[in-house]
Structure 1
């Protein structure tokens, strides 16, 4: 989205304010294909050193592998890693409801390998022990990821939108708000930028410091990979700006909602 973005007529008076909400992001396109251990991917087998402990839930059951991002394959984005591999795992019930402890990571896990082992003989090659968890997750296809830079404007579903604009004044303009929703559509797979929600933004219930979208994985079907969160929902991983800068992925908040 260029800085000369279009707006509904009733929103023109907010142009300068909205312009300040522009954020750079990385859009992700997934294509079904076989992948190697170092590739960015949805599904398939992850990169995992033999000397590391595979993530498990509170009952010691292996978590299923969701997504892997190799940042050497991703365009540079401010505050995000430039190297290393970031992975996302989840259990059978992950995302069904928001955890009572948003940072506990008991039903999901985010792991960052800053130093990547390139000797494949030192990597796990058989992940059959986690097959049952993986089979029940929303991401079922082995898909390679393609990345493109983009810019987003804040959508109305973001909890900060009411702080930026007089939402009551905007909503009274009839079709203007619906037009703005369409123009600021934030669906799709993404790193950074703004999230999409099927219901409401849950972050104010826990921490308004969770301003950074670490990863969004949307429902995606034919001709793309087979990804389905409940009833056509979306999964989001959030992090604070400070933790992102420090590459501290121990306090990542995961939520999923659907229609």
Structure 2
């Protein structure tokens, strides 16, 4: 997959075409000797990415059976939700995200839902660099030309504040709730709900005016999509609107004014954002 291609007629040993392209992603698939009983995906993100942890690791260095050094770190989040076992490990300049399941295939759409849920609970945009998928009798490795995930200066904070040693259960419970809500979405592209979330996260890097506008638009979009049946007008209100429409129709107002007022009354039958 290439973003851009530049044909150059003057290049090449025989004055032919030399095609230059910027590759977004390189992938390689191979067959395994036997089918796996579990499906797993490991996604690696470059950068110093903080997560709330609930498990630790110990690294011991031995020489000839003699322990020379021992190092302990509290750097892993491990939990189960929605039929998956997750292990997220913070390493030096890397974050490793692993999901394992016996109950369902890990499709491209499911992988996208994983990345959405992680970005949502951490309150930041992330770009993965390496992905390894093991499924049935296939091993697939993908490499992307992604920039290092630097610490952002966004004013938008995670939905649940955390430190590396605090609030892990609440954060990963929220991860599971979001994942359960969107995991059935079949498209490889972002879920419409995450498109709104991503807009809000990115707005924190812009001006306050842009952030306020994005927040208001995103909240209204969220209410329309996720709570479309909430605060609908009752029959009494609908009858009042019909009476108003009849009064306008019998009035001596011009047809253009009647048409515009009729449109306004029609809009009143849809609930306002503040009513929800």
Range class of TM-score, shorter chain: under 0.3
Larger radius of gyration: 2
TM-score, L = length of structure 2: 0.23
Q: Which has the higher strand share?
A: 2
What TM-score, normalized by structure 1, do the two folds share? 0.24
